[in-house]
């Protein structure tokens, strides 16, 4: 279970890189094109604002990747880190809806696993 969760955390981290790459105009993806709006087009952040959002996507990516490594190393603070990163990621996924709708589900899954683990201690 530990390996599966670590892979999920790292993969989710790499998925967050898409937000950085698109919002910094490094590349576009079929599923996500450059735009300066959030909240399903209701708020326009202009170019500088969306770049700031892109930096947060990068930081979240690094956080998830680091968290997966921490879990594999057996360090005990992975749960708290996963909890906070997933909550922040969930908020950013909601802000950038609908482009990040898959991320909402992944974050909820990670949060469920962390809460169950805290109560049942099945990942050591």
d(CA 33, CA 36): 10
Sheet strands (E) in 1-124: 37-38, 43-44
Write out the two tokens for 94.
């909601």
Q: Which two tokens stand for residue 32?
A: 């996500």
Whole-number average pLDDT of the chain = 92
User: Percentages helix, strand, coil for the chain, rounded to the nearest 5?
Assistant: 70, 5, 25
For the residues 34-60, what does the mean pLDDT come to?
A: 96
pLDDT at residue 123 above 80?
no
């Amino acid at each position: 279970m530990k390996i599966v969760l670590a892979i999920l955390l790292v993969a989710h981290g790499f998925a967050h890189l898409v937000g950085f790459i698109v919002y910094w105009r490094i590349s576009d993806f079929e599923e996500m094109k450059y735009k300066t709006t959030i909240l399903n087009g209701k708020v326009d952040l202009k170019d500088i604002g969306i770049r700031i959002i892109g930096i947060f996507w990068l930081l979240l990516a690094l956080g998830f990747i680091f968290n997966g490594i921490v879990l594999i190393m057996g360090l005990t603070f992975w749960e708290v880190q996963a909890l906070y990163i997933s909550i922040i990621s969930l908020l950013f996924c909601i802000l950038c809806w609908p482009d990040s709708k898959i991320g909402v589900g992944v974050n909820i899954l990670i949060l469920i696993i962390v809460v169950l683990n805290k109560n049942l201690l099945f990942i050591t």
